[in-house]
Amino acid sequence: MLIDLERRDAPLHSLFSLYDDGEVFGIASITASEILVGALRADPNRQAARSRFVEDVLEVIPVIALDLSVARVHARIGREISARGDTVGAYDLIIAATAIQMDYALATFNLREFRQVPGLRVEQPPW
């Protein structure tokens, strides 16, 4: 969702207006890493703008650490998904575990993958 917002050159504050209470609770630490890598890999013509957007995100949205409680959820849901014969990307599984542990819904366009995660509430952004 953050990548889509940046690609559309939408202001970051537009993200907050999507939710009734105007609050975005946080992003997983692996998400922070992914958007930082994306900024570093950006086309040189877009790199400065993308880096500014990422730094704005990291300044206003709390980053949730991958701690032992998230690791325990990660292990449990990973086992459940594997036992069913399904797969979820390694980073996406960490993102899902973070949301579950924090009791947050996950806003994403990647519904196909995240809907495979037991106990995860998934929301598609309205745009």
Q: Return per-residue pLDDT of the chain as tens, 127 residues.
A: 888 888 888 777 777 666 666 566 899 999 999 999 999 999 999 999 999 999 999 998 999 999 999 999 999 999 999 999 999 999 999 999 999 999 999 989 999 999 999 999 999 877 6
**C-alpha–C-alpha distance, residues 120 and 97, integer Å:** 8
In sequence order, what DSSP letters do the residues of 56-124 get, joined into one string? Answer: HHHHHSPEEP--HHHHHHHHHHHHHHHHTT----HHHHHHHHHHHHHT--EE-S-HHHHTTSTT--EE-
Domain boundaries, the chain: 1-64, 65-121
Supply the CATH classification number for the domain 65-121.
3.40.50.1010
**C-alpha–C-alpha distance, residues 37 and 85, integer Å:** 30
| Residue 98 near residue 106 (C-beta atoms within 8 A) | no
